[in-house]
Amino acid sequence: MKKVISTLGAPQAIGAYSQAIRANGFLFVSGQIPLDPVTGDLAYGGVSVQAHQILANIKSILSAESLSFADVVKSTIFLANMDDFKTVNDIYAQYFKEAPPARSCVQAARLPRGAELEIEIIAAYPS
């Protein structure tokens, strides 16, 4: 059985998808781009600002389910420019301090709304 998860602390879906789905002991969070959850506007100011906005949005979704970054078991980062890898990796490491999740990072030809990056995660509920 699956349950749709939604919080006002993160941007509402801009397409035919859910912010997150709870199923079989896992939380599957849709790819997050750097949208301000209040205005719906893209965060501007470079990849650093966008990375922090995305991770704040993910934190809100995790918090809605009483989870944290420590519960994340897998993440995927999509970069518009692989030259931003080090910057994004350094910011990412601030949020995943101990036992970071498995991760993939790929360069994408184009991301929604002209975002410089997108991050999706899978978290496990404590047993």
Q: Using 50, 70 and 90 to split pLDDT, how confident is the model at 15?
A: confident
Report percent pLDDT > 70 for the chain: 100
Please give the Cα distance from 35 to 19 (Å, whole number). 13
pLDDT digits (tens, 9 = 90+) for 65-118: 999 999 999 999 999 999 999 999 999 999 999 999 999 999 999 999 999 999
Residue 11 has pLDDT above 90, yes or no: yes
- Residue 58: its H or E element: helix 47-64
Nearest to 21 by CA among 8, 31, 33, 11: 31
What is the token pair recorded at 99? 């036992």
Q: Using 50, 70 and 90 to split pLDDT, how confident is the model at 127?
A: confident
The superfamily (CATH) of domain 2-124 is RutC-like (3.30.1330.40)
